[in-house]
Amino acid sequence: MKNQKTDNARRSFLKGIAAIPVVSIAGFQTAAQAGGHGTMLSVDDPTAKALGYVETSVVAGKNCANCNLYTGAVGSTKGPCAIFPGKMVTAAGYCNSWIPKM
Ligand code: SF4
């Protein structure tokens, strides 16, 4: 009986410990992206090239800042894009996947 209580307590403790890193990592990534940190997308990235990504849009009225896939803060100069996970794009940029912000 005593061993069963100890086992249950140990299991509960281990479950709690196991959950901490996942929450912390997810929180760190979200905070890092919102704060504008991260690796900038290179125009030489193969996917960027395939989509015609440029750091300064030449298409009137269309840029990353007003694209629905851009999740940078309003007024930011760079931010995350759903097409390029883990990378930051310039707010002034553009690619052929641009869709209007809703
Ligand atoms: S999908 Fe939108 S935010 Fe991402 S690079 Fe293209 S234009 Fe910019």
Q: Each residue of 6-43: pLDDT tens digit?
A: 555 445 433 433 443 333 334 334 434 444 568 999 99
Could you tell me the distance, in angstroms and rounded to a whole number, from the CA of residue 23 to the centre of ligand 1? 28
Ligand 1 pocket, residues with Cβ under 6 angstroms: 53, 64, 67, 69-70, 81, 83, 89, 93-95, 97-98
Structural domains of the chain, ranges and CATH numbers in brackets = 2-90 (4.10.490.10)
Distance CA 15, CA 79 (A): 35
The per-residue pLDDT for range 31-40, each reduced to its tens digit, is 344 445 689 9
Residue with tokens 């269309």: 62
DSSP string, 1-29: -HHHHHHHHHHHHHHHHHHHHHHHHHHHH
Cα(44)–Cα(59) distance, integer angstroms: 20
Angstrom distance (rounded) from CA 43 to CA 61: 21
Mean pLDDT of 71-79: 96
CB atoms within 10 A of CB 76: 18
